[in-house]
Amino acid sequence: MGKDKFYKKQTLSASWAKTAVLACAFLVMPFYTVYAQSDNPVLLTIADENITSTDFLSVYQKNNVNGEVLDKKSLQEYLDLYINFKLKVKEAEELGLDTVPSFINELKGYRDQLAKPYFIDEEVNADLLQEAYDRKSQDIRVSHILIRVDKYATPQDTLKAYLKIMETRDRIVKGEDFNAVAEEVSEDPSARDMPARGFQPPRKGNKGDIGYFSVFDMVYPFEESAYNLPVGEVSPPVKTDFGYHLIKVTKKGPAMGKVQVAHLFMVIPTDATAEDSLVAHNKVDSLYNALMDGSDWNELVLEFSADKGSNMNGGVLPWFGSNRMVPEFIDAVNTISDTGHIAKPVLTSYGWHIIKLVDKKPIGSFEDEKADLKQSLAKDTRSKQSKESIIRRIKKEDNYKDFPMAIEAFYTVIDSTIFKRKWDTEKATGLNETIFELGGETYTQQDFAEYISTHQSISSKESIASYVDKTFAGFVDDKAIEFEDVRLEMKYPEFKSLVNEYRDGILLFELTDQKVWSKAIKDTTGLKEFHKKHKNDYMWGERVDATLVTGSSKAAAENALKLATEGFNGDQIKDAFRNDSTVTVKVITKKFPKNENDIIDNIDWKKGNSKVVKGEDDNWGFAIIHKLVKPEPKSLNESRGLITADYQNFLEKAWIEELKQKYTVTVNEDVLSEIK
């Protein structure tokens, strides 16, 4: 491993502390044990810090991203660079940079990000993701009956709603029609006909049929019950935040995906007579037959479709999925096998439709859908299952135990001030018992009181007991996560190592910026002195002092050359073409090195006017050669970038030597020899 190669890695590691690319520098790779001893001997001591062989080799393997063979030379080079790295970090610690609030906050931010995976149950998430894809691949049509009960309802009101939903279910189990019962008792207003209100036209009730839906369209308990229910069966009561539901799945089938259709629509007023409906039916049938006989779709849509929003463009509707249209419409779409084909007329609650399939996008593969499903999963309540799984593990591993009497004591000390977010912990004075234990730690009633004081968001519909129980559950969850979080470094050596790498990277960046990078830019006097001592290291090669004239065409360049032959200089040639809008002529006078300009490179470097040659960008040009310029040192401004970089290297080397004088570095040669 070359020295320059590692230096780039080390610099990148430090820079990421500010630019979020540290993860690339500290690439976490499998640690293949190159050397191991049961006692893990100390390889290196810098000042009072001991670094074991395992610590060193772990970092070596992480940075050995190309899988190079471990040899004596590369190992020694890496050790030298590693020592320099640790010296800089040691100096940063001595200067107290690790105690600066900005450093502490920055490191905390990175650590919080690194800790997140430890509080995610990947197995649970993987199962939820697969479940979501399986459900997205299937459309189901559902009817439901709702008996409303507020999520904060009293036990008495909840029981009343439960008894009513059970009574309703008994009626259906005994043979009554689900949809007829839904129209009678469901507290979902869409189940019954709705009369006209203001500007809203009358609407026909759905008798509990809420149509098709797919994953994430419904609250999770409803979705979970529906997808696990056989077609035709009635579910037990399903509790959601809206109340109790009875669910009946009427259809299941492969997902339609997204489709775009065009339709010819004939509206049937809600007050239409049987004769009106028959006339409309006969009319739509005649239009369908005309289409089957070859009539022009767009012409018939424009003339007869009542959908004024689409009839001007052939009746084309925006893309939609199965959950966006009434079920009769979806069923009709599903009968069309190929684009361009037309389904038989279908009657919905709005009227008659003749539907033509324009385009279709089926559900993609799991990998295709995975990213979108992840986003939806993160926003859905089911995503809490992953965190809940972790909390259950923590509680089990660390012998969680709560004390119900201590919890119930808060039923009497929480009062109506909680509804106004004005409850004060003084009302819990005297409550000092243990409320729960975890991992040998005890949490008291006063701890819970403090937690309550910062979590006073409560609905006036919620009972005090419900609020206390819910808030206590949140208190336990938060404390369990905190308890686990403070032990991550102790439980997971790889996490501790990674946090330390981020820590060292931030320190390295801060101090190197002060001592090298920013210093080299700000120290103009030092930079000038460095250039003065090393100016012969930054040389121009042979150059030509010339005036380059280029034209937008060969003719323009040749006309400019004629002027040059007559003695015109560059500015005069440019002025001669200034008023000609058909020609563009450019003139540049400077010292040209090799390989900078293709026209200069393709002419003879002889004093006088060159011939006209073609450039790489289809332009034409020539040069007026004034003189040849021998190699000479570049000025500071001409080579500032290179000189600044070399000055930074110079400052860094000098700094490293200072650090080596300041801190004792001891290498255990016996251990190093065994590694080699």
Position 255 scores a pLDDT of 96
174 in a structural domain: yes
Residue for token pair 């106004």: 420
Listed in order, strand segments (DSSP E) in 174-257 are 209-213, 238-240, 243-254
pLDDT tens-digit map of 201-235:
778 899 999 999 999 999 999 999 999 999 999 99
Regarding whether 249 and 342 lie in a shared domain, the answer is: no
668 in a structural domain: no
- Provide the number of structural domains found in the chain: 4
End of a domain among 231, 254, 277? 254
Question: Domain of 563?
Answer: 540-633
How would you classify residue 577: left for phi > 0, otherwise alpha for psi between -120 and 50, otherwise beta?
alpha
List, in order, residues 6 or more apart from 118 with CB less than 8 Å away.
Answer: 390, 484, 488, 492, 495
φ, ψ dihedrals at 614, nearest 5°: -90, 135
Regarding whether 624 and 609 lie in a shared domain, the answer is: yes
659 in a structural domain: no
How would you classify residue 399: left for phi > 0, otherwise alpha for psi between -120 and 50, otherwise beta?
left
End of a domain among 485, 500, 520? 485
Regarding whether 283 and 245 lie in a shared domain, the answer is: no
548 in a structural domain: yes
Residues (pLDDT < 70) of the chain are 1-39, 64-73
Which pair of tokens denotes residue 282? 């006969």
pTM over 0.75? The answer is: no
Running DSSP on this structure, what letter comes out for residue 203?
B
Regarding whether 620 and 571 lie in a shared domain, the answer is: yes
Regarding whether 270 and 227 lie in a shared domain, the answer is: no
* CB atoms near residue 534 (< 10 Å): 14
End of a domain among 338, 360, 382? 360
φ, ψ dihedrals at 568, nearest 5°: -70, 135
Regarding whether 276 and 247 lie in a shared domain, the answer is: no
Position 1 scores a pLDDT of 35
Position 386 scores a pLDDT of 94
Regarding whether 219 and 188 lie in a shared domain, the answer is: yes
202 in a structural domain: yes
328 in a structural domain: yes
Q: What is the CATH number of the domain that holds 147?
A: 3.10.50.40
Regarding whether 249 and 340 lie in a shared domain, the answer is: no
Residue for token pair 């990175």: 110
Regarding whether 143 and 230 lie in a shared domain, the answer is: yes
122 in a structural domain: no
How many residues are present in the chain?
A: 676
65 in a structural domain: no
Q: In whole angstroms, what is the distance from residue 556 CA to residue 549 CA?
A: 10
Position 129 scores a pLDDT of 97
Position 672 scores a pLDDT of 85
Burial 481-493 (b: 16+ CB within 10 A, else e): bebbeeebbeeee
pLDDT tens-digit map of 569-606:
999 999 999 888 888 899 999 999 999 999 999 999 99
Position 29 scores a pLDDT of 28
Please say whether the beta carbons of 505 and 19 come within 8 A: no
Running DSSP on this structure, what letter comes out for residue 294?
T
Regarding whether 275 and 247 lie in a shared domain, the answer is: no
Regarding whether 274 and 182 lie in a shared domain, the answer is: no
Position 70 scores a pLDDT of 57
Regarding whether 405 and 356 lie in a shared domain, the answer is: no
Please say whether the beta carbons of 170 and 161 come within 8 A: no
Please say whether the beta carbons of 607 and 626 come within 8 A: yes
* CB atoms near residue 186 (< 10 Å): 25
What is 569-582 written as a DSSP string? -HHHHHHHTTT-TT
